Structure 1
Amino acid sequence: MPLYKTLIPNSQTTVKIWKIDESFDDLLKPIFLKPESLNRVLGMKSELHQRGFLSVRHLLAEFGYTDSDLFYDDNGKPHLKDGKHISITHSFTFSGVVVSENVVGIDIEKQRDKIGIIAHKFMDYENQYLNRDADDYIRKLTVVWCIKESLYKLFATPGLSFLQHTLVIPFELVDTETRAWIDYDNKKHGYDTTFLEFEGFTCAFALPIS
């Protein structure tokens, strides 16, 4: 499938989302992979992960980049050779890439009930406003997770804890945006976050407060 969705939250930032319904071979044929990337994708045991990896390379192409323009640092954070900031995500049948002039993070997750089992591992403050008995509890919980995962990706600091160092300001699903904070090493960092839902999935991305 071609590009699924494009979002432009500001003049310095673009988000692109891909729906992965092509086969591995169809995704592999049109793109060039550097040797280490080819070895990596061929070594993956799950075809779902292989297709996710390749769909991200198609998203790079949508931005005008190739696989050779992308590299990772020692913390596993992706970077672009031209100095722009990038964040990458994929979950089951969707992948996403955001490119920005500012530090940025993105996450996509499938909405599943089992996230409620681990809620205590990534939420504290948010329990004050999330209602476990509400019909939209799992959807809101997935938004919180996606936002915190986005913060984790953009901060890229060993030792950062979802539970201890991040919080998401109260929101409603109709809002499609909220503010989030990282409180780490006696410093507070604020972020504007945007979230959206599609086909049983949630996507969120975070940028520094402008």
Structure 2
Amino acid sequence: MPLYKTLQPNSQTTVKIWKITESYNDLFQAVSLKPENLKRVLGMKSELHQRGFLSVRHLLSTFGYTDTDLFYDDNGKPHLKDGKHISITHSFTFSAVVVSDFKVGIDIEKQREKIGVIAHKFMEYEFQYLKENEPDYINRLTVIWCIKESLYKLFATPGLSFLQNTLVIPFTIKEGSTVAWIDYENKKHRFQTQFFEFEGFTCAYALPA
């Protein structure tokens, strides 16, 4: 069953993860797309991206939605016609959707050593507690990236900087949760974040604290 995992962090929020094992044709034949999205998926050069896009439509159906229930604003943030909040992510062979009564953000990333090369571009404060020689350095870096990406999707404000406007409170992988902040235009916003690892990937999602 491609529906890999379902989580319910609270009674108003549901997270669903899809493991993309199907072929492009199998995914394509089982969904109905709006004309603009049909054009979009047919124009994608990467089959991996096509399968990711289509798997998200399959996830929508598990929530009882169709492609026509989803739309995007001028900032690229997804919305649902019924007013519920949604966030979407896909990475390689996994995709995820979270639907909530609250503003929410989610991200999945594959754990890769090369994230260490760009660490200085997305974090500063976090170097106070995260050191390169730690055995779980790459895993924790990936958590931080996923959390910050989730915050970015939730906040949906052009010009928000991972480096300058977001910070993640110290955590361990075993804890599976931490607090994160957005400090933007002299206002501080606090968020509760949860994260977990599976099959060489990391998933994190953020909700208002």
TM-score by length of 1: 0.99
**In the alignment, what sits opposite 1:167?**
167
Supply the RMSD in Å over aligned alpha carbons. 0.5
Is there any run of 5+ residues in structure 2 with no aligned partner, and where?
Answer: none
1:4 alignment partner in structure 2: 4
Task: Kindly report structure 1 stretches of 4+ aligned residues shifted beyond 6 Å.
Answer: none
> Residue 66 in 1 paired to residue 66 in 2?
yes
Of all paired residues, the percent bearing the same amino acid is 78
Deviations 1:118-161 (A, max 9, x none): 00000000000002101100000000000000000000001100
Task: Return the letter of the residue paired with 2:34.
Answer: K
* Higher mean displacement: 198-207 or 27-36: 27-36
Residue-by-residue CA offset, 1:74-132 (whole Å, 9 max, x unaligned): 00000000000000000000000000000000000000000000000000000000021
- TM-score, scaled to structure 2: 0.99
Deviates further, 128-137 or 139-148: 128-137
| 2:128 aligned partner, one-letter code | Q
* Corresponding letter in the other structure for 1:118: I
Supply the distance in 2 between the matched residues of 1:2 and 1:164 (Cα, whole angstroms). 38
1:174 alignment partner, SS class: coil
- In the alignment, does 2:129 pair up with 1:129? yes
What CA deviation, in whole Å up to 9, does each residue of 1:27-81 have, x standing for no partner? Answer: 0111111111110000000000000000000000000000000000000000000
In 2, distance between residues paired with 1:172 and 1:2? 29
Q: Where do 1:1-210 residues align within 5 Å?
A: 1-209=1-209
Distance 2:98 2:21 in 1: 21
Q: Name the SS for the 2:178 alignment partner.
A: strand
Look up the equivalent residue of 1:20 and give its one-letter code: I
Question: Tell me, what secondary structure is at the counterpart of 2:134?
Answer: coil
Deviation at 1:201, TM superposition (A): 0.1
Shift of 1:2: 2.4
Q: CA–CA distance in 1 between the matches of 2:201 and 2:8? A: 19
SS in 2 for 1:138: helix
Q: Counterpart of 1:173 in 2: which secondary structure?
A: coil
**SS in structure 2 at match of 1:143:** helix
**Alpha-carbon distance between aligned partners in 2 of 1:2 and 1:201, rounded to the nearest angstrom:** 16
- The answer (yes or no) to whether the contact 2:147–2:204 under 8 Å persists in 1 is yes
Cα distance in 2 for residues equivalent to 1:60 and 1:188: 32
Between the aligned partners of 1:173 and 1:131, the Cα distance in structure 2 is: 14
CA separation in 1, counterparts of 2:33 and 2:97? Answer: 17
